[in-house]
Amino acid sequence: MAAKFALNDGEAIVIIGSGAGGGTLANELAQKGVNKIVLLEAGRNFEEEEIENDEFGMFLKLSWLDKRQAVGAWSVARTGPNLPAWIVKGVGGSTMHWAGVSLRFKPYEFKIRTTYGAVPGANLLDWPISYEDLAPYYDRAVQKMGISGTPGGQPELPHNNLHKVASAAAKKFGYKDVIHPMAIQSVPSDGRPSCQQIGFCMQGCKVGAKWATNYTEIPKALATGRVDLRPQSMVLKIEHDREGKVSGVLYQDKDGKQHLQKARIVALAGNSIESPRLLLNSATSRFPQGLANSSGQVGRNYMGHTTAGLFSIYEKPINMHRGNAVAAIIADEARNDPSRGFFGGYYFEVLQMGLPFVAAFLRPPSGWGREMTTALEQYDRMAGVWVCGEQLPCEGNSITLHATEKDQYGLPIPVVSNSDHANDAMLRQHGRTQWQKMNEGFGSIRTVEQPTWSSTHNLGTNRMSEKPRDGVVNKWGQSHDIKNLFVSDGSQFTSSAAANPTLTIVSLAIRQAEYIVDQMKKGAI
């Protein structure tokens, strides 16, 4: 299909990646009247009939399976050495796969250096913005995304059996804060239906009750006539002019042809592995360390959350698979209370998984055999949880370029290095112990654990900082070094917080769009 806007049009606003950050930014800019937005997406567009209620079928269809390498002390380096992250390659990005949990950061989580002090071995930094700065944008994101079960949003989704069991167990244990804020509609709105409780939220939600940019932001953006979506367009390099401003991007289409799209502004939203990788791959003689990298922080401080997947088995059926992917969230441990032995907090995200995923991921410490098969026999009696907690930023947890291995585009593959900080390990262990005690106190007879999955939350590799020497972008997501280059995805996070990231990514994109429009009007970019 011919490009809607000319390749040599230097007024184009180029957005790389169409997921939570990029898809939202495209729509926000288009709704504000910005014209000539070129949305480049490496993956293809999935039609509604391609969305199947099939865990492995959809994983294979949607996932970014280009070669990557996982290294470091985390277990994924052994269990998934070529799959450090579970990320989507397709129009809509990982919002196709996400479960919809929509939590705000807590105010202290924007200020971890001030709150926790200097933690040896970690690279803590305060965000250059506060909770109060982002609060109005959180409110707007709640409306935009049709979030249920949160103040100002839609009514909470119906409680399934897993919710009832987990909630009763939590209350018996003394927890009080059982919540369910989900970007899944409980009432029809915005031209989308309410949730049908089918349970395949992470397989693309066939009916569109779950917010995803391919169902919401992108169609709305295209309807303005101001956006040119180019699927199967993998950006290989960001180019700059003699003054050091970005001037365009080189990308490869589905037929293997390369094109140079000129640009007035480039916004990078390829998720926290591809975004720094592209900056590093765009090195030139003027920017030998890569673009936007005078601080040397591009690719550093990778955070994926501190997690554990546990399944508690009861004597009677629960049938956790009936209803949403995430049935409830227990929020009592999401606080900074160093008396527990670690900084930061975590959520219990009460989670169902279909039998195929439970069977594939469940490898008890003893390996295959009776321990595994007896657990699988009890699938209908399982209550699952994902402990999701803060991971401290550490410089050594990073995205770097492989010295020799190349991908199908001829680019060095990304190497994702990740290891627990001692704080992360203590937080994880606390989560495991509390979950087990809570369920045993409610009649659970056994708890089994899955090894850590490939990372679904990927954050922090182009972080925001007040001072250029500490990070990559300023409080607007704008490169400290190159003023017409923006980062619009989770890689701009300065801390991971305990909360799942997407609501914050969307709120930042809404805020960033306002800034870009303002700066364009002033002729500053």
By the criterion CB under 6 A, which residues form the site for ligand SF4?
A: 184, 195-201, 205, 207, 209-210, 324
Q: Verify binding: residue 142, ligand FAD, rule CB under 6 A.
A: no
How many helices and strands in the chain, by DSSP H and E?
Answer: 12, 17
Q: Verify binding: residue 204, ligand FAD, rule CB under 6 A.
A: no
Q: Verify binding: residue 505, ligand FAD, rule CB under 6 A.
A: yes
First to last CA, the chain: 30
Kindly tell me which of 126 and 349 has the beta carbon lying closer to ligand FAD. 349
Kindly tell me which of 27 and 444 has the beta carbon lying closer to ligand FAD. 27
Q: 3-class secondary structure for 350-401?
A: EECCCHHHHHHHCCCCCCCCHHHHHHHHCHHHEEEEEEEECCCCCCCCEEEE
- Select from 27, 38, 41, 318 the one that contacts ligand FAD (CB under 6 A): 41
Q: Which does 97 bind (CB under 5 to 8 A by kind): ligand SF4, ligand FAD, none?
A: ligand FAD
**Contact set for ligand FAD, span 360-419 (CB under 6 A):** none
Q: Which does 200 bind (CB under 5 to 8 A by kind): ligand FAD, ligand SF4, none?
A: ligand SF4
- Written as one string, the DSSP assignment of 257-300 is -EEEEE-SEEEE-SHHHHHHHHHHHT--SSSTT-TT-TTS-TT-
Helix (H/G/I), strand (E/B), else coil: 234: strand
Q: Verify binding: residue 86, ligand FAD, rule CB under 6 A.
A: yes
- Select from 37, 38, 39, 42 the one that contacts ligand FAD (CB under 6 A): 42
Tokens 């039609």 locate to 47
Q: Which does 457 bind (CB under 5 to 8 A by kind): ligand SF4, ligand FAD, none?
A: ligand FAD
Helix (H/G/I), strand (E/B), else coil: 256: coil
Count of residues in contact with ligand FAD, rule CB under 6 A: 40
Q: Which does 207 bind (CB under 5 to 8 A by kind): ligand SF4, ligand FAD, none?
A: ligand SF4
128: nearest Cα among 423, 454, 466, 415: 466
Cα atoms in the Cβ-side hemisphere of radius 13 Å centred on 319: 6
Q: Which does 271 bind (CB under 5 to 8 A by kind): ligand SF4, ligand FAD, none?
A: ligand FAD
CA dihedral 112, 116, 119, 122 (to 10 degrees): -20
**Alpha-carbon span 92 to 205, nearest angstrom:** 12
Q: Which two tokens stand for residue 280?
A: 């590093």
Beta bridge partners of 415: 69, 400
Query: What residue spans of 107-160 are helical by DSSP H?
Result: 112-116, 131-145
Other CB atoms within 10 A of residue 323 CB: 21
- Taking residues 8 to 37 in sequence order and writing x for each that binds ligand FAD by CB under 6 A, - otherwise, the string is --------xxxxxxx---------------
Q: Which does 217 bind (CB under 5 to 8 A by kind): ligand FAD, ligand SF4, none?
A: none
Cβ of residue 226: shortest distance to ligand FAD, in angstroms? 20
Q: Verify binding: residue 150, ligand FAD, rule CB under 6 A.
A: no
The answer to whether 17 and 268 have CB atoms below 8 angstroms apart is yes
Query: What residue spans of 195-250 are helical by DSSP H?
Result: 217-223
Q: Verify binding: residue 234, ligand FAD, rule CB under 6 A.
A: yes
- Taking residues 257 to 296 in sequence order and writing x for each that binds ligand FAD by CB under 6 A, - otherwise, the string is ------------xxx--x---x------------------
250: nearest Cα among 242, 498, 240: 240
Kindly tell me which of 186 and 261 has the beta carbon lying closer to ligand SF4. 186
Kindly tell me which of 181 and 389 has the beta carbon lying closer to ligand SF4. 181
Cβ of residue 94: shortest distance to ligand FAD, in angstroms? 3
Cβ of residue 340: shortest distance to ligand SF4, in angstroms? 33
Q: Which does 196 bind (CB under 5 to 8 A by kind): ligand SF4, ligand FAD, none?
A: ligand SF4
Give the H or E element holding residue 22: helix 20-31
Kindly tell me which of 101 and 482 has the beta carbon lying closer to ligand SF4. 101
Kindly tell me which of 205 and 329 has the beta carbon lying closer to ligand SF4. 205
Strand 398-406 with 37-40, pairing: unpaired
Q: Verify binding: residue 87, ligand FAD, rule CB under 6 A.
A: yes
Which residues form the interface with ligand FAD (CB under 6 A)? Answer: 16-22, 40-43, 86-90, 93-95, 97-101, 202, 234-235, 269-271, 274, 278, 456-457, 489-490, 500-502, 505
